[in-house]
Amino acid sequence: MWSYDPLSGNGAKQHGGRFNPPGCAALYLSLDPTTAWMEAQQGFPFKPQPMTLVAYEVDCANIADLNDEQQLVSCAWEDLTTQNQVPPTWRLAEQLQALEFSGILLRSFASGCTAKNQNLVLWNWSDVAPNAIRVIDDFGRLPKTPKSWTDH
C-alpha cells in the first residue's frame, strides 16, 4: 500500500504497530528478505499475499538493542488495544523516544522466525545524518503514486 512512499511511515501511523500507537509514524524494517516476507505474511500462512520488497540504506544513530528484552516486547499488543489498554511496548517506545533513541533493533515475532530474524523499528528518520535512511531504487522501479496500482 505504501510502496509509492516507502519513507512515509504512514502505514504504521494509520494502523499502529507493536511499537507505535495509531497516529504516530514509524518505519518497520527487516534486516533480510526472509524476515520481511515472514512479517508481511502474518495471518496468511497458507495463502501468501503479494508484496513489494524495498531495500533501504540506513545510517542511524541511537538505536536501542532490545534483543535481551524479549519477554516485555513479545506481549499480545493487539489484544491489549482491543481491550482499551495501552500495551507496554507503546510505553517503552515513548520512554525510548524521550531519551532520544531513533529506533530499536529486535527479533521478529512473526510465526516461524527465530532470534536471527531481526527487525529495525524507526521513529525518527530523515535523509541526513545522524538518522539517515534512503530507499534504494536505482532503476526507478517503485511506483510514484497510488494511481500506479490502478493504471493497467
Report residue 1's pLDDT band, with 50, 70 and 90 as the boundaries: low
Domain extent listing, the chain: 23-42+57-135
d(CA 115, CA 118): 7
d(CA 99, CA 93): 10
The arithmetic mean of pLDDT across residues 139-143, rounded, is 90
The arithmetic mean of pLDDT across residues 114-131, rounded, is 96
Give 70-110 pLDDT, tens digit per residue. 766 778 898 999 999 999 999 999 999 999 999 999 999 88
pTM score, whole prediction? 0.88
Report residue 151's pLDDT band, with 50, 70 and 90 as the boundaries: low
Report residue 143's pLDDT band, with 50, 70 and 90 as the boundaries: confident
Per-residue confidence (pLDDT) for residue 42, from 0 to 100: 84
